[in-house]
Chains A and B, each alone.
Chain A
Amino acid sequence: MSNSQPYVALMGNPNSGKTAIFNLLTGLNQKVSNYPGITVEQRLGTADLSEGKTTQILDLPGTYSLTPESLDEKIVASQVVEWMQGKNKPAAIISVVDAANLSRNLYLTTQLLDLNIPVILALNMMDRVKKRKQEIDLENLKSMLGVTAVIPMSAKQHWGIEALQESLREVSAKNSHSSKTPLQLYIPEKIENILEPISKFFEEYIAYPPNLAKTQALRIITRKSALEVYEPHLSPSRIEQLIALRDEAVEHIDASAVNHRILEARLRYELIDRELQSYHLEKVENPHIESRSEKVDKILTHRIWGPLIFIGLLYGIFQSIFTWASLPMDWIDLGIGLVGDAVITAMPPGIFRDLIVEGVVAGVGSILIFLPQILILMFFMTLLEDSGYMARVAFMMDAVMSKVGLHGKSVLPLMSGYACAIPGIMATRTIDNWKERLITILILPLMSCSARLPVYTLMIGAFIPQKTIGGIFNLQGIIMVCMYFLGTITALIIAAVISRFIENRGKSSFVMELPPYRIPLATSLFRQLFIRGKLFVVNAGKIIMAISIVLWFLASFPKMEDQSSLHIQDSYAGKIGQFIEPAIAPLGFDWKIGIGLITSFAAREVVVSTLATLYNVENEGDDVLGITQALKRDIDPVSGKPRYTPLVALSIMVFYVYAAQCMATFAIVRNETNSWKWPLFMMIYMTALAYFGSLLVYQGGQIMGLS
């Protein structure tokens, strides 16, 4: 936020429903999910407050406190330091709390109260409090905290948002203020004396008021990382001075038998518990009743059953991708054929018509056909996330993760990688340990993203027979699951290897809130499907279409004087492909696949559209040739045998499990690591894995007499 327009900041613990409230207030469609860490960067929206009034809403990443540990928490802490210096302060802060976990959620609220900014307390998830037949005395809570307003609400059930809008209207009209002083943290005199040099430093060099200076001094005592946010505001020598003051204070505190690391937490929780008790609000906390989620967790996070159920679910998802998608895929295939026929009928013969039919329709159509499969995969992934199951997967996998140098928090970004590596890499910002975050980023592209799905399904659908194994398991489904597991298991092995060579710069701990199981919101589910579908068709579609056009030219020229005599091998594309063919021939790939390997750097699925365009240029028929049919019909003129066999298909799939092909991923890795070294390393190790993995499959298969 650098503009001077009044705005309201939206803050709260992870998974407190902050993003859902942001969406309700602004009408935007940010992703909402049932696991912590969805908001990893701040975003801005405009809230319509009715009566012709609007206000800007700044949605900050969820954080448990203002002490920065991970990158997303640092975004919040840095923003708050700006406000504390009076720069671009919000008109108010909406502190979103989970009403069913009041005392824990109030920790952040008490820190926000120190900032001398009006705080509106949004008591979200009141539906759960009501379900437990509990009540919260709103007036008492308001008096206790000294906040501007306490708004009971349920973002999930869409109620309470009008009251929040009204409160925002009052704040923006500046006619709303608390009649009581905000709740102040009590710091014992002995500690206060130790903190005094730091407090004075803050008063002198950052111009904090005395009370704020004391609480900030306490914060940097707790974590040295809290100093980082002051780096832009102080000279290096002042930072050195502050570090020295901190180290001295820490020594004194530890000498008085108080653990400095938990000092702020201890003082704040003592304050919250004491105040909740004196205002008779403590009855809201009732952790002794075993909830339905806890009962379900006994099975789903069971040491043995938990992982088995997870594997079973994955198999079910990949199997359904084949069975459910076949009908809509047939419809799309039919539609593409009709579009091709319509173009042929409507346009006179010529180069432009050939470009449209062989390049655009064949290329884009060959990718569009996989839309149902991608949507089915996304449907299940969103369902697992929104229900709260993904958070359990992270919990179950923590032990395995730590053995390979990763963190429990790595699981959710890795699972996001099944959809697309880019949001997964961004989601690693929640991992506070540098080494664990870097390793997660480096292995994340090995998780099979949805762009690989068209490659897998094309090869499996065309060359793997529809056999049933053991009476219930479908061979095509098993091969698909194997491709996903191959990527995942290799990722874990690579993580274990890399972790030995990267120095650890800090300790990490895994504290993760297990959200209650919730029935996913249909609107959120379908919004995600719409966004994912749009991304695939529009964003990926544009580059696929452009590459198909360029490729058509490369495959159709140079034209000879006798135009009909052009063989595709003599085209520019053919020459490029044949140039690289000797390097890829040991993998069972011909020059057409070689062209696909180059073009798929734009996006992995482009290999499918590339093959479709090349076969259609070669076909020169008056119809659009289906890619599956084209692959099956392709005969090697030298050997007279089919060029594509199940072994070649397997080799191609293994190559794409490991393939580095995705420029967007390299760009995001460069962004997130601030170095070209790591994306380069990633490209080299992934390409080596892809080449040798594929070589092993093809040559090994041939030695074993497979075809």
Chain B
Amino acid sequence: MDFQLIIAIIIGLLAAGYVIKTFVHQTTKRETDPECDDCPAGRKKAGK
């Protein structure tokens, strides 16, 4: 197989992997308390 084609395919696969990883990371990142639905993070129902 053409040497340039092999390198291009490897780079293409790496790039596709990076794009997928970025999308998954962006959509699944959770840093805050998941208990409270609908309200800004950290602000729970009792108290206010």
Assuming the contacts A550-B16, A675-B38, asked whether A228 and B26 have C-beta atoms less than 8 A apart, the reply is no
> A75 vs B29: C-alpha distance in the bound complex, in angstroms?
21
Who on chain B is nearest to A75 by CB? B42
CB distance from B42 to the nearest CB of A (A): 5
Q: For B29, list chain A residues within 8 Å (CB).
A: 667, 671
Bitwise, A421-434 to B at CB < 8 A (1) or not (0) is 00000001100001
Q: For B37, list chain A residues within 8 Å (CB).
A: 674-675, 677
Chain A-chain B contacts (Cβ-Cβ < 8 Å), number: 116
Determine if A352 and B33 form an interchain contact, defined as CB atoms under 8 angstroms apart.
no
Determine if B47 and A231 form an interchain contact, defined as CB atoms under 8 angstroms apart.
yes
Assuming the contacts A663-B27, A672-B32, asked whether A351 and B2 have C-beta atoms less than 8 A apart, the reply is yes
Determine if B8 and A673 form an interchain contact, defined as CB atoms under 8 angstroms apart.
no
- Give how many A residues have a beta carbon under 8 Å from the other chain's beta carbons: 47
Determine if B40 and A74 form an interchain contact, defined as CB atoms under 8 angstroms apart.
no
Please classify how large the interface on chain B is, using the bins under 10, 10 to 19, 20 to 34, 35 or more: 35 or more
Determine if A602 and B42 form an interchain contact, defined as CB atoms under 8 angstroms apart.
no
Bitwise, A508-548 to B at CB < 8 A (1) or not (0) is 00000000000000000000000000000000001101110
> A355 vs B12: C-alpha distance in the bound complex, in angstroms?
9
**Is A641 positioned at the interface, with any CB of B under 8 Å from its CB?**
no
Q: Which of B22, B36, B41, B48 contacts A225 (CB 8 A)?
A: B48
Q: For A429, list chain B residues within 8 Å (CB).
A: 40
Bitwise, B2-32 to A at CB < 8 A (1) or not (0) is 1111011001100110110011001101111
Bitwise, A473-516 to B at CB < 8 A (1) or not (0) is 00000000000000000000000000000000110000000000
Q: For B26, list chain A residues within 8 Å (CB).
A: 663-664, 666-667
CB distance from B7 to the nearest CB of A (A): 5
Q: Which of A228, A353, A428, A602 contacts B22 (CB 8 A)?
A: A602
Q: Which of A227, A546, A672 contacts B46 (CB 8 A)?
A: A227
Q: For B44, list chain A residues within 8 Å (CB).
A: 228, 231
Who on chain B is nearest to A355 by CB? B8
Q: For B15, list chain A residues within 8 Å (CB).
A: 545-547, 549-550
Determine if B27 and A674 form an interchain contact, defined as CB atoms under 8 angstroms apart.
no
Q: For B36, list chain A residues within 8 Å (CB).
A: 674
Determine if A674 and B8 form an interchain contact, defined as CB atoms under 8 angstroms apart.
no
**Is A394 positioned at the interface, with any CB of B under 8 Å from its CB?**
no
Q: For A71, list chain B residues within 8 Å (CB).
A: 40-43
Q: For B8, list chain A residues within 8 Å (CB).
A: 351-352, 355, 553
Determine if B27 and A550 form an interchain contact, defined as CB atoms under 8 angstroms apart.
no
Determine if A228 and B48 form an interchain contact, defined as CB atoms under 8 angstroms apart.
yes
Determine if B46 and A239 form an interchain contact, defined as CB atoms under 8 angstroms apart.
yes
Assuming the contacts A228-B46, A352-B8, A546-B19, asked whether A434 and B39 have C-beta atoms less than 8 A apart, the reply is yes
> A74 vs B41: C-alpha distance in the bound complex, in angstroms?
11
**Is A407 positioned at the interface, with any CB of B under 8 Å from its CB?**
no
Q: Which of B7, B18, B35 contacts A352 (CB 8 A)?
A: B7
Interface hits, A666-707 → B, CB 8 Å:
666-667, 670-675, 677-678
Q: Which of A239, A353, A553 contacts B12 (CB 8 A)?
A: A553
Determine if A542 and B38 form an interchain contact, defined as CB atoms under 8 angstroms apart.
no
CB distance from B41 to the nearest CB of A (A): 5
A225, A355, A674, most chain B CB atoms within 10 A: A674
CB distance from A364 to the nearest CB of B (A): 12
CB distance from B22 to the nearest CB of A (A): 6
CB distance from B34 to the nearest CB of A (A): 6
**Is A437 positioned at the interface, with any CB of B under 8 Å from its CB?**
yes
Q: For A678, list chain B residues within 8 Å (CB).
A: 38
Q: For A74, list chain B residues within 8 Å (CB).
A: 42-43
**Is A224 positioned at the interface, with any CB of B under 8 Å from its CB?**
yes
Q: Which of A228, A549, A663 contacts B47 (CB 8 A)?
A: A228
Determine if A547 and B40 form an interchain contact, defined as CB atoms under 8 angstroms apart.
no
Determine if B5 and A351 form an interchain contact, defined as CB atoms under 8 angstroms apart.
yes
Q: For A52, list chain B residues within 8 Å (CB).
A: none
CB distance from B15 to the nearest CB of A (A): 4
Q: For B34, list chain A residues within 8 Å (CB).
A: 674
> A348 vs B7: C-alpha distance in the bound complex, in angstroms?
14
Q: For A428, list chain B residues within 8 Å (CB).
A: 40
CB distance from B39 to the nearest CB of A (A): 6
Determine if B39 and A674 form an interchain contact, defined as CB atoms under 8 angstroms apart.
yes
Determine if A224 and B30 form an interchain contact, defined as CB atoms under 8 angstroms apart.
no
Determine if B27 and A667 form an interchain contact, defined as CB atoms under 8 angstroms apart.
yes
Q: For B27, list chain A residues within 8 Å (CB).
A: 663, 666-667
What are the 6 closest A-B residue pairs judged by CB atoms, nearest first?
Answer: A350-B4, A352-B4, A228-B47, A549-B15, A546-B15, A663-B26
17 other contacts beyond A239-B46, A550-B19, A667-B27, with CB at 8 A cut-off?
A: A71-B40, A226-B47, A228-B46, A348-B4, A351-B2, A352-B5, A434-B40, A506-B48, A546-B22, A547-B19, A550-B12, A602-B19, A663-B26, A667-B29, A671-B32, A672-B40, A674-B37
Would you mind naming 19 contact pairs between A and B with Cβ atoms under 8 Å apart?
A71-B42, A231-B46, A348-B4, A352-B5, A355-B11, A437-B40, A543-B22, A546-B16, A546-B22, A547-B15, A549-B11, A550-B19, A663-B23, A663-B27, A670-B30, A672-B40, A674-B34, A674-B37, A674-B39
